[in-house]
Structures are given as C-alpha cells and as structure tokens.
Chains A and B, each alone.
Chain A
Amino acid sequence: MTFGEFLLVAVLALPVLGALAVAATPRDRAARVVGTVAAALTLVAAVALVAGRGMGWVAYGATPPAVRPWHAVDLPWVPGLDLRFHLGVDGISWPLVVLTALLTLLCCGYSLWRVPAGGSGRALVALLLVVEVGILGTFLALDLVLFFLFFEVILLPMYAIIVGWGGDGADPAAVDARRRAGRKFALYTLFGSVLLLVGVYVVVAAAGTADIVALTGGAGLSRGTQLAAFTLLAVAFAVKSPLWPLHSWLPDAHTQAPTVGSVLLAGVLLKMGTYGLVRVAVGVAPEGARWAAPVLGVLAVAAILVGSLICLAQTELKRLIAYSSVGHMGFVLLGVATLTATGIQAALIGNVAHGIITGLLFFLAGAIKDRTHTGVLSELSGLRETAPRLSGLLAFAAVASLGLPGLAGFWGEAFAVVAAVEVGGALWLTLAVLAALGGALTAAYLLRLLRRVTHGRPTPAVAGLRPGLAGAELVAWVPLVLLALAVGLAPTLVLGVAEAPVEALVGVLR
C-alpha cells in the first residue's frame, strides 16, 4: 500500500473511528474533544492528499482515460452487485474534500464551545463525523454503486441533527416545525437518491461495469441509455443541489437546523449534487448532457432569478441565507450546463466559494440568533451600534456572497456568465443576460439585508448585546474569512488543481 492509498483510506477511516471513539467515551466534554481531534486529523490527511499528485499522469498509456486520479484504492466488495470499494482523488474532488474536512473540523470545534439545546454534545459530534464520512465518501468514490451508497449515508444522521438539535425552543409548535422540516429533508433527499439508484443501475446494466474511470466519456452507451440515465441522474442531483423547482426542502431544513447543521448542509452537502452532476451525470452520459443542457441552463437561470426575488421578500435571517443558496447554486448549475471548460471551472470554484462564504454566513446568523433569540430582520436593526465586530463580519460575508471582485464569490458567478456568452446563440446569450441580472438582484438583497440588520437604531433585542466575540467563535470564523480572501485573490488555489481534469473531462464531451 503506497502512502497515497493509505491517505485515501485514512481520510474515510479517521472520521469513522472518531465517531466510534466519541460514542465510546462516556464523558461529554472529553468525547467532544476526541471528536474534534479526529476531525483535525482528517483535515491533515485530506490536505496531504495533494502530495504526490501527478504520478497518475504517467501511469496510463496512449489514450488516457478522462479521470486520472492522483491516488486510487480499488478493492472488490460485493461482486454480485457490481460494487467495488474504489476510491480516488483528483483535482475536481480534492478542493471539496478539503472544504468538507475543514468545515467539519470548524463545526466540531464550535461544538466544543456551544452545544445547541436538545441533546448531548457527544451524540452531535458523533453524528457530524458520520455525516463527514458520507460526504467525503461521495467525493472520493470512483464506483457508481459506492457513490450511491455514500450519498445515502448522510440522510439519517442529518435528519437526526435537524430534529434533535434544531429549531428554537422546546414548545410543541417548535418541535413540530423542526420535525416537519427534518422529515421533508429526509423524504426529498431519499427521493433524489432512489432516482440515483435507478440511474446508476441503468448505466451498470447497459455497460456491465460501475467503474467511473472506465465509464467517463460515455463508454459506448447507446443514445437512449444515455438520455434515460442522464435524466434520472440529473433529477437526483437537482434535488440535492437543489435546483429550482425541486428546492423547497432547503429553506425549511436550513432554518430549522442548528448552526453546525446549517453550515454543513449549505457548505458541503449541496455540493454533493453539483459534484455528482459533473462527475457522474455529465461524465457518464455526455450525450444525454448535451441533449439536456438547454433545459438545465434555463432551470439554472430560473433558480438564480427566483432565488433572488424570494430573498428580496424574506423577513427572516436564516431563511434569507438559505434561499440565497438556491440562487448561488443556480450559477453553479449554469456553469455546468454550458459544458465548456470555463463553465465547469466556474462551477467548481463557485462550489468552493459558496461553501466557504455560506458556511461563514450561517455561523454568523447562528451567533446573532443565539444572542438576540430572534431571526426576524425587523427586530435586528442597529447591530452595528452594539456589536460592531459581529456586524462587520456579517458585512464582509454578505459582500463576499454578492460576488465583489477580489473575494471568493466573484469568480464562480462571473465566469458562469462568461461561459454562457462563450457558448453563443440566442438562448445562451439570453441566459447570460438574465443570469447577470440575477447577479445584480443578489447584490440588491444582500445589501438590503445589511441595511436592515446592521444600520438603523438598535431594537430592544439588539440593544443589550455586548460587543465582544468569544474565542471559539473567532477560531471557527477566521479560517473562513481568510479562505474567502485567499480564493478571491488567488483563484488558482482551486483552478490550478482542477484545470487538467476539467480539460480531460471536456475533451471527452466533444
């Protein structure tokens, strides 16, 4: 076993072992420390994956496959179901793997300091680690069936996090609301993943293999199979992403989930959908992707506009941020739908940027709600007066989210529009114009948010706030602030590693 293979297995095994260790540690505080250590080690392993990359390039012959993992592990598991334990990492998945490991670590660290009411911190940290296993596994899987398996792993732990620790208060109405939100999340997501299951086996039955490396590029699948497979897979991923009009689980789930749950949900869970679209749906059924691209583009732009318009009318902080995800993911999907190198790169960097910025926004929203016990915008004005640091950070995150050049959010949105223009033709030009308009609307609602929350006279809820921030909060937020800056100033952090695999992928699309 080489070092790279060891790292790949470690990235998955560490959170599993961590979750078991957390469950086995009787004392609550000690268990949370154990969990945080496990998450930290996972992050180290995830970052280390980048070492030794490029070795995969020499290992292949004259016609190299479109997916060239840096490291790969390939072991048989259930031959009767065409399931192999096949993991690998390349430039498309690595940034997301690191982002997942980082956000989980920040969430675990945050849980050291504050555990939301409802259950023990020990169980929460264990569930966070299980969710991490599922997300990382999805990003690393190079076997379609294994991909599906990890896709499903997230469902119940996330449901438990929403129902167990979410909402505000223990009165029956609040309990009922979060139970409804949790159930909506579970059923919607399961609907997506069963379609994924059917789509996966449509491909496997036709191709006789579930190996993503072998399948990328179509692998001789007939046009009919590709269209059917792409439709099923795209709907499955559209639920997860979520793409309008399949997004209605998202606002409820985000609003009801505890802070750490929202951060993981918005930060990385949604990326499973867009990543799956790039790696599985587009990669395995390119002909289907070309066929469906206009529909996908129209829906993506609809999501941008609808999401922004809904945000303009929102009166609740967390709900607004949740709906803003619909719009941002619309940009990502628009990038994918163009099927060009620019577009897919925009989608990848948009994914990462959204994970960083929305993660930060949800942390801040959680902090504001914890302090003021309300999320209603009209009860929050004047935050600048009593809590300048918090309000400054919120302003930074909001400005990053609206895509100011120099911050992370810019690249994904700008280049999605550029890619659409590059494709050309009346449809795509119209889509580009509308998406740009959506970008302006994004700025409008985020500035409205800032005006409502930070400016004005302090409301009673805000007036009593103390200006300081807890150390744990700073520790959780500073890495995200720095990353938003770093990715904004040097997008090559993401694009540099993603360039070669994206070129290879686009190469087989033509």
Chain B
Amino acid sequence: MVQSVDSVALLPAYLAAGTAVLVLLVDLLLARPAATVAAAAGGAVATAVGAAAVGAGGERRTFCVGADCSYVFGGRAALVAGLVALLVVGVLALSGPLLKAGQTPVGEFCFLLACSMTGGVVLGAAGDLITLIVAVETLTLPLYVLVGLRRGSLASAEAAVTFFVVSVVATTLTLLGAALLYAVTGGLHLERLGMLLADDALLDLPLTSVAVALVVAGLAFKVAAVPFHAWAPATYDGAPLPVAAYLSTASKLGGVVALLAVVQHALPPGVTGPVLALLAALTMTVGNLVALRQRRTVRLLAWSSVAQAGYILAPLGALALADPDARAVAYAAALAYAVFFVLLELAAFAGVVALRPAGADGGTLDELRGAARRHPWVGAALAFALVGLAGLPPALAGLFAKVTVVRSLLGGGAGWLALVVAVNAVLGLAYYLRVAALLYAPAGDATAPAVRPARAVAAALAVATVVALVVGFAPQVVLDLAGS
C-alpha cells in the first residue's frame, strides 16, 4: 500500500525539526553562541509563521488508513504549534543572561529546546494515541537534560532526576493505558476510539475503566495535576529560570493539549468528566493552599501554576452532561484559559528573570522587596502579570480567562465546580497580592544591587505584557482561535 503524504500539512513539523538540525550544524560549523541562538530563534519564528500559514488554509489530514488519520492539522493544531514556537522564542530571549554567563553550553541548550519545540508542534496535530504519546515524549525528553544544565548545582541535578523518574513512570502508565485500550477496542486512532467506546458493552468491561484511568493519570502527571504534582515545585526551583519558564508554559500547554485531545475525541465523557472535575477541584485547592506558604519565588510560581492547571482542567470536568454544544464550549474554554495563562506566566517569569542577576536562580521572595521602586517599568510589568494570574483588572486578560472558565462551567451545569473556582480565585489573590505588594514595599535595609535587565529579557517582557494588554481588551481573538 502506498500512502500519499501531505507535505504541506507537515510543513510546521518539518520547520521545527529543521530548526533543531540547523542549530546543531551552526553550533558545529560556526561555533559562535550568537549565531546559534539566532538560528534557533529564526527557526522558531519560521515555524510559527508556517503553522499560521498552514492553519489558515483549513484542515489538512495525512497518514490516513481509511477514514482514520494520524495527523490532523487544523485550526487548533495551528494555534498550539504557533504558540509553542513563540514560547520558544520567548524562552530563548529569557536565556540571554544565562547563556552569556557561560555556565551553560549554548549549542546543546538551543538544540534541545528546538527538539522539544518539534514535539509541541506535532502534538496539536496528533490523531492517534501513539503519535500523541511520542509527541509528548519528544516535548519532554529534552527537558530532562535542560533542567539539569546548571552545572555544579546539586539542586539542578536533583531536579533533573526527580523530573526524569516521574515523567518516565507517567509515560509508562499512559502507554500501558493505550495498549489496554487497543486490547479492548482494536483501535488507536482517537476518533475511532471515541466511536468504539460509545458502545455500552465495551464501557462495562473493567479493563476499559482501567485503561481510561491509566491514560488520564499518565497525562495528569504531565500537567502536574494533584495528586500527581509533587515533582513540579522541586523541578521548577532546581531548573535554570528560563527552563522553569518553559516547563510551566510550553510543557504545561503540551500536557493540556494532550489531555484535551484524548478526552475530547477518544474517551467517553461520562467516565472522564467526574474524574477530571474532582482532579480539577483538588488541583486548584491544594495548589493555592500550598502556594500561600511559599517563601521562594519560583516555588511560589510553581505551586501557583499547579493551581492554574486546576482552572484549566475545570471546564473538562463539566463534561458529564451530554449536550455536545456545551462540551464544545468547555473544550474551547479550557484551551482559551491555557492560552491566557501561558501568556501571563511567561510575562511573570520574564519579570523575575529581569529582576534577578544574570544566571541566578529565582531566590527568595524577600530578594524582590522594593524591586518595583528600583525598576519601575519591570516591576510594574511583573505586578501586572501577577495580578493577571490572580484574574483581576487592570490585567483584563486574566479576568476574562476566569470568566471564560466560570461561564463554561455554569453553561455545562457544573455549578459546584464554578463555586470552587470562585473561592480559589480569592485564595489565589492572597499570595499574588503579597508578592505584588512586596515589589512596591520600601526596600528596608537589605538593598540589593540594582541590576540592569538584559535587553533581550526586557524585550520579551515588554512584548508579553503588550500582548496581554491587547488580548485583555480583545479577548474575542483568543476565544475564536481556541474555538476553531
């Protein structure tokens, strides 16, 4: 059998993979750090443009067996691919000071980041479980090394090992679940699985329940949902700051997209809905409660991003209802929240990187005291991002994100979960406000030296903030993209 391959649909994946190869060659042949970083950034921008161009042309399917396709590049895939590529550009900008400090090998850093981007680009288009799992692994595998790249740091090595072990276990679980699903249904394509599992006789098999549970649990590890979250704070705190930023934005987005794909197309909503609702409620509550007690900046952001994962999952928990319209709204809401979130999270990390000395870790919260008085613009941008994460005006992007989630929950008849989200928003404000107020507090006696933020970091922060502002006034753009 000869398969026709639609290379246009694969263009973004080619571009991403090509970026990785290009970075490797540039590093080998030119051996100039600036050129390597430029190649990576250029490639990532090209990938984003390619994804947008291909996505604009309508849905394209390839690697098909009959009606089932393993690679479906539509509007949502384009959004995910473009976003991941742009996040890579942002993270590269944040890495400027780290790479200049000389502790980190530039070529390897950029190559691994580009590899991870390839996984993210393919992920959105994955049409079967194996493609999906391979894409998620391609996204995560380079991160094991990236997390451990801070040479001579014990915390970094520990973080890498924790992350590696947990992630491998999670992947194994997902794979086992996929295998069991195959055993039960004989299918691996998401849409075919969805059709097969609509059959009640299959659903009643205990094996099906186990398989579904394993797939969901494995992917819940990737988004660091409670009770599969324990790796995240240690890993984020040990990793270099830009890598932590990547982990909490692109990598988390990847996990969400994978979960979304599986839940939307393959698994029966009647089974996953209640489980995900519970998972979401637990995740946001535990994340927020623990974040209240954090004293280290990155750990606070890590726990808060655990809580945010709960908000993202919440709409998926409203699936218990049978109405396909409300379900479509819920999926779009989850994705829209994720988009708003990665934007604000990137801005928050950019702010922290900008306020910290080159190559330093996140430090304690007290080291940020009075930072906004020393750097009014950077401090204001960081405060803006934090307020946005808390979901309050003037950062309308964050407010609309919360509104989107609550609306989808109430439209989907999950009022109790909407109340949980609401109460958690109050919990969240308690610590975001503490950090934001700390930025404006009088500096006290411990005056940190005023470091000039690197130009690339400041640019990334500015771009993220401006985009967040614009999206805050025109949230319909994101809602349309997420709903397509």
Residues of chain A touching chain B, judged by Cβ–Cβ distance below 8 Å, are 77-82, 130, 134, 145, 148-149, 152-153, 155-156, 159, 163-164, 179, 183, 186-187, 190-191, 194-195, 197-198, 201-202, 204-205, 228
**Could you tell me if A201 and B393 are in contact, using CB atoms closer than 8 angstroms?**
no
Question: How many residue pairs at the A-B interface have CB separations less than 8 Å?
Answer: 84
**Could you tell me if B425 and A201 are in contact, using CB atoms closer than 8 angstroms?**
no
Contacts A149-B399, A190-B392, A191-B426; is A81 near B479 (CB within 8 Å)? yes
21 pairs, A vs B, C-beta closer than 8 Å: A80-B404, A80-B475, A80-B479, A80-B480, A82-B407, A152-B393, A153-B394, A179-B437, A183-B433, A187-B426, A187-B430, A190-B392, A194-B422, A194-B423, A194-B426, A195-B422, A197-B402, A198-B419, A202-B410, A204-B407, A228-B415
Q: How large is the interface on B (under 10, 10 to 19, 20 to 34, 35 or more residues)?
A: 20 to 34
B52: interface (CB < 8 Å): no
B387: interface (CB < 8 Å): yes
Q: What A residues does B434 contact at CB under 8 A?
A: 183
Q: State A184–B433 Cα separation when bound (angstroms).
A: 11
Q: What B residues does A190 contact at CB under 8 A?
A: 392, 425-426, 429
* Other 7 A-B pairs with CB < 8 A, given A81-B479, A152-B392, A198-B418: A78-B400, A79-B476, A179-B437, A191-B423, A195-B422, A197-B403, A202-B410
**Could you tell me if B403 and A81 are in contact, using CB atoms closer than 8 angstroms?**
yes
**Could you tell me if B422 and A156 are in contact, using CB atoms closer than 8 angstroms?**
no
Residues of chain B touching chain A, judged by Cβ–Cβ distance below 8 Å, are 387, 392-394, 396, 399-400, 402-404, 406-407, 410-411, 415, 418-419, 422-423, 425-426, 429-430, 433-434, 437, 440, 475-476, 479-480, 483
Q: What A residues does B399 contact at CB under 8 A?
A: 149, 152
Q: What A residues does B433 contact at CB under 8 A?
A: 159, 183, 186
Q: State A134–B399 Cα separation when bound (angstroms).
A: 15
Q: What A residues does B422 contact at CB under 8 A?
A: 194-195, 197-198
**Could you tell me if B429 and A78 are in contact, using CB atoms closer than 8 angstroms?**
no
Closest to A188 in B: B426
The one of A78, A155, A183 that contacts B476, using a Cβ cutoff of 8 Å: A78
Q: What B residues does A204 contact at CB under 8 A?
A: 407, 410
Closest to A148 in B: B403
Q: State A201–B405 Cα separation when bound (angstroms).
A: 11
Q: State A191–B426 Cα separation when bound (angstroms).
A: 6
Contacts A191-B426, A195-B422; is A81 near B475 (CB within 8 Å)? yes
Give the distance to chain A from B220, nearest Cβ to Cβ, in Å: 26
Q: What B residues does A159 contact at CB under 8 A?
A: 433
Q: What A residues does B423 contact at CB under 8 A?
A: 191, 194
Give the distance to chain A from B423, nearest Cβ to Cβ, in Å: 7
Contacts A81-B400, A149-B399, A191-B426; is A201 near B418 (CB within 8 Å)? yes
Task: Identify the 4 closest CB pairs spanning chains A and B, nearest first.
Answer: A194-B422, A80-B479, A201-B410, A205-B410
Q: State A194–B403 Cα separation when bound (angstroms).
A: 10
Q: State A145–B399 Cα separation when bound (angstroms).
A: 11
Q: What A residues does B404 contact at CB under 8 A?
A: 80-81
Q: What A residues does B402 contact at CB under 8 A?
A: 197
Q: What B residues does A149 contact at CB under 8 A?
A: 393, 396, 399
Closest to A150 in B: B393
Q: What A residues does B410 contact at CB under 8 A?
A: 198, 201-202, 204-205
**Could you tell me if B406 and A201 are in contact, using CB atoms closer than 8 angstroms?**
yes
The one of B387, B411, B415, B479 that contacts A198, using a Cβ cutoff of 8 Å: B415
**Could you tell me if A187 and B429 are in contact, using CB atoms closer than 8 angstroms?**
yes
Closest to B418 in A: A198
